[in-house]
Amino acid sequence: MYMLRQIFLVAVVVYTGLMLMARPAVAASFDSASLMLYRTKTSQSNVQMLVVVRPSSATNSRTETNITVQFAPGFLVQTSASAIQSSTSGLPTTYQGQSIVAMPGIGSTASSVSGQTAQFAISNLSAGTYYAFYITAGVTTPSTAGKYVHTLSTIDGSGTIDTQQVGTSIVANDQVSVSAAIQPSTSDGSLAISASPTTATVLERGDEATITLTYQHTLSSSQQMEVVASWDNGYLTGAPSSQVTAVTYKVGSATNSDTGVAPVINLTNRTITWTIPSVTPNVAHRVSFVLKASSSLSSITPKVVQKISVNGTLLDTALTTQSLTYQINFLIAEAAALPTSTPAPGTNPTATPTPTTALMSTPFVIESVAMRTVTKDSARFIMQTSHPSTYTIFLRFGAKKPYKHNNWFITRNAACS
């Protein structure tokens, strides 16, 4: 009886010991873990990813020997451990505001691969420290967009120490194309205008002036430029509001650009435009055209002021407008009086001939008369004649109805200025 009790007691002790040895270690969760893909586009081979873990306090009583990454189904994982490469070069210095430490003891490749799980040999970790490493090759993202869940674990000889699931999203296109252009400044381009003869020359009716426009830019490559010449109506000297058509464009005189771009001529708006797609930088380019002083304008006043300008753009940037001004004389001089000779005295003297005055080369014509203003005691007229002249107009203001002629009133009674 005693022998039987002893055998039973030994058996119970042995059985209990076996039960204790077979009990697996309980895995804890990382304090923090993440798997960050550098490309989240579908079907990206050898996608680089950053693995970051922060061990829990469970690591204090255990010693890590490996870390595993179990990729979600759909990710393609190379079957050869040497094809799955790892690195700690170029790691970020912080994660969530905390310093990062390179994963200790990790090699340049995985130590083993089984299905979707890649295992990497490491050294012992400390609780509360962020550890990181890169997987740089050996994994391809899924061909289908969606959300995928992976599992990170650290293990020792007894089993899993810390583990945690982490998610990633895969999209059809993970990049946004953004195109931007920095517009040039006004100082990057320039315009200039010159003329022959120079503006120091007073033009006469029928004279021609060649206008030259110079354009250039200082950008690093060829760019589009637009050059626009324009001219306003001329105005009477001292009277800017009194405008006349003093010049006209000489048909066919505008030149092409040095790249062969022909000008667009708009005589209604008095503009000539060159739109040049490609202008070589740091070179002065030129175009020109001819304006002709009118031959038909009568002598309203001796001189007319004529302004000519150039403006333009470099890409979409407006450039500084440049201008020049001509003085044009439309006065036609009258023919001088022709002297006559007085005969020498003789035995039969004759009367001294009366001097005669040569006729003007063209007939004197009153071309237009216009009444500008009328008040109760004054009136203002403008009379346009073909030759310099003076004239007096007599008007009458009062109850008596004056004589009406061509929409203005003529009497012979009262003088009016």
Q: What is the CATH code for 19-170?
A: 2.60.40.10
Neighbours of 8 (CB within 10 A): 10
Domain boundaries, the chain: 19-170, 187-329, 366-415
The mean pLDDT of 227-254, rounded to a whole number, is 91
Q: Which helix (H) or strand (E) element contains residue 140?
A: strand 139-140
Q: Which of 278, 269, 295, 170 is nearest to 221 (CA)?
A: 278
**Average of per-residue pLDDT across 239-262:** 93
Pairing of strands 285-293, 247-249: antiparallel
What is the spatial distance between Cα 304 and Cα 244, in angstroms, rounded to a whole number? Answer: 8
What pLDDT, on the 0 to 100 scale, is given for residue 7?
43
Tens-place pLDDT, residues 403-415: 443 333 333 333 3
Contact in structure between 52 and 98 (CB atoms under 8 Å): no
Q: How confident is the model at residue 8 (pLDDT cuts 50, 70, 90)?
A: very low
- Tell me which DSSP letter residue 381 carries: E
What pLDDT is attached to residue 267? 95
Indicate the pTM of the whole model.
0.47
Residue 360 has pLDDT above 70, yes or no: no
- 3.40.50.11720, 2.60.40.740, 3.40.50.10800, 3.40.50.2300: which CATH number matches 187-329? 2.60.40.740
Nearest to 327 by CA among 293, 300, 295, 296: 293
Fold agreement (19-170, 187-329): yes
What is the C-alpha end-to-end distance of the chain, expressed in Å? 161
